[in-house]
Structure 1
Amino acid sequence: MTVPAQSAVESLQPPEVNPADPSFWQLPHSARLAAFAALRRLDRPAYFVERPATRRRPERGFYALVKHADVVQASRLPQVFASAPGVTTPEPARWVRFLFGDSMVNLDAPDHTRLRRVVSRAFSPRLLAHAEEDIRRVAARIVDDMLEQRPDDFVASVASRMPFEVICNLMGIPERYRPEIAGRVDHAAQNAGVDRPLRARLRVPGRGLRALARMHLMMATLARERRSRPADDLISALVRADVDGQALDARRLGAFFSLLMVAGVETTRNAITHALTLLTDHPEQRALLAADFDRYADGAVEEVVRHSTPIIQFRRTVRAEHALGGHTFRPGDKVVLYYTSANRDETVFTDPDVFDITRSPNPHLGYGGGGPHFCLGAHLARQEIKALFRELLSRPRALRAVGPPEPAYSNFDNRVLALPFTFDPPASRPGH
């Protein structure tokens, strides 16, 4: 690992400006944004120590890529900035990877290329068309249930249900498995923040190993069933796909399903939750969207994703010497791509802290910075958010948050545990 510039390190060690310190992620959101703004003003990436050197272990640290241009360039150079051995912080343990298989996000070419080709082939136009129809039906049913049951937490009753039901329907998960999966996902999500005791921290963000093992067993059972009795769902397509003679075995199917629970459920749930908060805090933007939904919906979704940035960061490992952002990286260096900072880069976004659904262009990095790891489910996520808010805003109720969101302090995703909300009854007309 290269030796960092001492001047940069000395000025960035306090916890309030140090994203390697767990205390940093318990600061108010505005304070963290200010810290990243300060990092963007540096003339080169800052280096942070995660674990000091000891007699037995070398120092462990990373360089923070916080500028939009740097994150994009690193994302599009996978031969230099590799995903293996892992993109999460901390990286998954070797025994976890051996036991459960490598998630697609932790692979590089040629393994990643082959696996993504299999998955992409399974997402056929027919399957995606059925998924979009299902998204509209799920959105309508969730809002109907909300109006009938009158819950007080938006996350549990609306935001969580939407992506979970869509993904389960898409995959073809039988109803008998869903309550257990939902419970394990919720339990893991509540215990994955940086404020937990060290012994309780999970090696895989958003997942406990016990829940992960159980889901892998479920996928193995379903894979066997679908091979013998295929259905019109994604599991059948994945286990029967024939791309250069390859399909997904049970181990890789389990890893893919676990990834979908993070990339397809948790991130979309959080984006939906942040959307309600943003539209509540900015009534003029809500009024604009409600007045002409078809005109502004696409822009609103993109701005929600930019402003909230559901995935905060991913890690990369340098494989070849490369100059980027005023620094020359060496093989073995670790870098962290901070999407949450890149999406507020003043050189790319005018008034980046302003929520503006008419923002155009909006080259945010909420689905990644491009390259081979650009989010495969970005289209479905956009459709889910749009369909749900079409339903919510078309009903004659004044839906709004009535309190601040309850955050889970995490350095991985911008997760919300709960959001109190209400929806007023229709206003009475004069004379009634």
Structure 2
Amino acid sequence: MAESGELLSVPLHDLSWWERPADERASVFAELRKNSPRKFIPLDDAAHGAKRKGFWALTTHADIVEVSRRSDDFCSGEGTQIFDQPAALREYRGSIIDMDNPEHARLRKIVSRGFTSRNLAALRTDIEATVTEILDAMPADGSCDFVSSFAALLPLRIIDNMLGIPREHEAFILEATNVILGASDAEYVSDQSGAGIHRAVTQASEKLIALLQELAEERVAEPRDDLITKLVAADDENLTPQEMAKFFILLVGAGNETTRNVISHGLHVLTQHPDQRDLWLSDYDEHKQTAIEELLRWASPVIHMRRTVTRDGVRLGDMEFSAGDKVVLWYNSGNRDEDVFDDPEVFDITRDYNPHVAFGGAGAHFCLGAHLARLELDVAFRMLFERFPDIHSVGEPVPLRANFLNGIKHLSAEYTPVR
């Protein structure tokens, strides 16, 4: 292991560092939590006396939760990515997560119509039907790329069904969201120059926006029983077709990419820990709640989110910030904080105190789809193990080259096919 000083100098924004082994990266965050929990990470070599560009890396669970609650002091409207992006690109990739009140509160109130407890309770039957359909189409030879055959399809198809998007658009939507959220990976965007990434993300976003605008305008003219109609053609205040289209990019990003990655990480970690897998399968209902929360903590599907300090004199503990300072909340680190989680590097489906921040800390930007994600995970693993009780990952996952999403692009799996 490198010396502490070397560990603390690791540039967390450097994607090449994120290709290092997972245990090596975990040791860096453990060192940060212990010795420098609010570490300034420079992004330039500023001239003497000039203010250096960079961000404060917040790595403890307590700081992540506090900053998340204080949206008046730590705003989202200046961007949620480490590097500043052009306003148009930020709008495409962020939607309401890149907004502050009052506009954020207005849009969130409208969007929350589709995520009420009543609406989600009624979804279980539809999710079960979707899982059955996907399982029926799993390769008959007993081997597959688990991501493309199951994990990626399920949450995307559920979102499309909720919205009322015809199945004919599924492949395009999956491809476009892979580009938007996986733009730093050459498998999805071959031209990894700044201009190439900007061009690819803009083109994919504009095509998605055009599709959703068309569907939203159709619902305004002819309402249906779907989520698009609830958001653009209700009796109360509505999203405009343009707002609906931009929200869709966030929805398929949050609803597809994050949930699919928890499912993928889940199969792999359960394969690596057969005792935990066997315990869960011995009584699925007894362990499902704690098991799902542990999968969320373990996977930490969103690695970080940035906030910007709104004024001079904002304090966090004994630190004082200036207006415009960037702070980056490292959720993956908060979910391994030794001060909160007993034996945080142990995967334990019976963990009964698990205040993870996989959906962000409490506050204005807490994930609206948290309950939907939990429901999907419950149905997915229940029915997957009922159909293929011996399904397991083979070899190592192929990770997404990114430091924003803890993505798995490919994961080989084997199972005994049902005859």
TM beyond 0.5: yes
Q: Find the aligned partners of 2:348 and 2:93 in 1 and give their Cα distance.
A: 41
Pick from 253, 256, 260: which aligns with 1:265?
256
Structure 1 residue 38 and structure 2 residue 31: aligned?
Answer: yes
Amino acid at match of 1:421: A
Deviation at 1:192, TM superposition (A): 2.6
Evaluate the alpha carbon distance shift between residue 22 and residue 395 of structure 1 in structure 2; reply closer, same or farther with a 3 A threshold.
Answer: closer
Query: Which residue in the other structure is 2:95 paired with?
Result: 103
Pick from 211, 223, 247: which aligns with 1:230?
223
Amino acid at match of 1:280: T
Deviation at 1:122, TM superposition (A): 3.8
Amino acid at match of 2:43: E
Deviations 1:34-71 (A, max 9, x none): 0000110125511001233379x974200001000000
Q: How well do the aligned residues superpose, as a CA RMSD in angstroms?
A: 2.6
User: Following superposition of structure 1 onto structure 2, how do residues 202-241 of structure 1 map, counting pairs within 5 Å?
Assistant: 202=197, 208-241=201-234
Structure 1 residue 277 and structure 2 residue 268: aligned?
Answer: yes
Q: Find the aligned partners of 1:177 and 1:165 in 2 and give their Cα distance.
A: 10
Q: Find the aligned partners of 1:122 and 1:186 in 2 and give their Cα distance.
A: 24
Q: Once structures 1 and 2 are overlaid, which stretch shifts more, 41-50 or 307-316?
A: 41-50
SS of the residue corresponding to residue 311 of structure 1 reads coil
Amino acid at match of 1:388: A
Evaluate the alpha carbon distance shift between residue 332 and residue 11 of structure 1 in structure 2; reply closer, same or farther with a 3 A threshold.
Answer: farther
Does the 8 Å CA contact 1:310/1:414 hold for their aligned counterparts? yes
Q: Once structures 1 and 2 are overlaid, which stretch shifts more, 124-133 or 316-325?
A: 124-133
Deviation at 1:359, TM superposition (A): 0.3
Residue identity (%): 39
User: Following superposition of structure 1 onto structure 2, how do residues 180-191 of structure 1 map, counting pairs within 5 Å?
Assistant: 180-188=172-180, 191=183
Amino acid at match of 1:254: A
Does the 8 Å CA contact 2:58/2:329 hold for their aligned counterparts? yes
Q: Find the aligned partners of 1:178 and 1:394 in 2 and give their Cα distance.
A: 26
SS of the residue corresponding to residue 56 of structure 2 reads strand
Query: Which residue in the other structure is 1:399 paired with?
Result: 391
Query: Which residue in the other structure is 1:20 paired with?
Result: 13
Deviation at 1:368, TM superposition (A): 0.4
Query: Which residue in the other structure is 1:294 paired with?
Result: 285
Does the 8 Å CA contact 2:138/2:144 hold for their aligned counterparts? no
SS of the residue corresponding to residue 352 of structure 1 reads coil
Query: Which residue in the other structure is 2:136 paired with?
Result: 144
Deviation at 1:145, TM superposition (A): 1.8
Does the 8 Å CA contact 2:93/2:180 hold for their aligned counterparts? no
Pick from 319, 328, 331: which aligns with 1:327?
319
Q: Find the aligned partners of 1:120 and 1:242 in 2 and give their Cα distance.
A: 15
Q: Find the aligned partners of 1:158 and 1:383 in 2 and give their Cα distance.
A: 16
Structure 1 residue 132 and structure 2 residue 124: aligned?
Answer: yes
Count of matched residue positions in the alignment of Structure 1 and Structure 2: 412
Query: Which residue in the other structure is 1:7 paired with?
Result: none
Amino acid at match of 2:38: P
Evaluate the alpha carbon distance shift between residue 426 and residue 389 of structure 1 in structure 2; reply closer, same or farther with a 3 A threshold.
Answer: same
Evaluate the alpha carbon distance shift between residue 163 and residue 393 of structure 1 in structure 2; reply closer, same or farther with a 3 A threshold.
Answer: same
Structure 1 residue 421 and structure 2 residue 413: aligned?
Answer: yes
Amino acid at match of 1:137: A
Query: Which residue in the other structure is 2:379 paired with?
Result: 387
SS of the residue corresponding to residue 290 of structure 1 reads helix
User: When the two structures are superposed, what TM-score results if normalisation uses the length of structure 2?
Assistant: 0.91
Q: Find the aligned partners of 2:9 and 2:51 in 1 and give their Cα distance.
A: 25
Query: Which residue in the other structure is 2:305 paired with?
Result: 314
Evaluate the alpha carbon distance shift between residue 298 and residue 201 of structure 1 in structure 2; reply closer, same or farther with a 3 A threshold.
Answer: farther
Deviation at 1:17, TM superposition (A): 2.6
Structure 1 residue 344 and structure 2 residue 339: aligned?
Answer: no
Query: Which residue in the other structure is 1:430 paired with?
Result: none
